[in-house]
Amino acid sequence: MIYRVLSKSIVYGFLSAVLLSSCGGDNDAPSLPPPAPEKELATMELTSPAFSNGEPIPAKYSRNSDNISPPLSWDAPPEGTQSMALICDDLDAPSGTWVHWVIYNLPSDVRSLPEAVTSDANLADGSSNGKNSWGELGYDGPSPPSGTHRYYFKIYALDTILDLEPGASNNDLIEAMDTHVLADGELMGTYSK
């Protein structure tokens, strides 16, 4: 974000200089409006009683064992939040980002997910499971081909309820969330083969 703000400032300064020089430095030269400030996101704390940030994820949450989702909880979202979304992905996968869980339209008053959330398309609270990188609905746990991978659980507070059918992909969710994120939070756990 700093880079984007800096880039706008540089462009603004350059264009202002060009306009002034083309008008002979006259005080009546047209001026550009200052760049719009970047929208600052609020931060939410995302935690799990099963593992701490940066620590190993217990085996029962992996594909090598029970393959159930870990319990998660988060802070109250900012005012204006209409729904929440959660993504879990592995950025260390050899083929690029591997998505393990996509869930969206969680009610704004929900503050946690229990262990072993079902993989049903529609959940009792009105939220929906999306598809993971295996093409399945719901959570699918860590199973790295080798070494230690990092798994990022990311929560988003949104100013809208998303118009997405159950089974949306990670990319569908990211596109639908564009310009609607009010706050976010992250919890990273590791898993080793």
Q: 79 Cβ partners below 8 Å, 6+ apart?
A: none
**Stretch 111-127: mean pLDDT, rounded?**
96
Q: Which domains does the chain have, with CATH numbers?
A: 1-38 (no CATH), 42-192 (3.90.280.10)
Q: 37 Cβ partners below 8 Å, 6+ apart?
A: 5
Beta bridge partners of residue 153, listed in sequence order: 88, 187
Shortest CA distance to 181 belongs to which of 156, 153, 152, 155?
Answer: 156
pLDDT digits (tens, 9 = 90+) for 46-88: 999 999 999 999 999 999 999 999 999 999 999 999 999 999 9
Residue % of the chain over a pLDDT of 70: 80
Average pLDDT, the chain: 85
Cα 133 vs. chain centroid, distance in angstroms? 16
Shortest CA distance to 77 belongs to which of 53, 109, 104?
Answer: 109
Strands lying side by side in the sheet with 72-74: 46-47, 72-74, 112-113
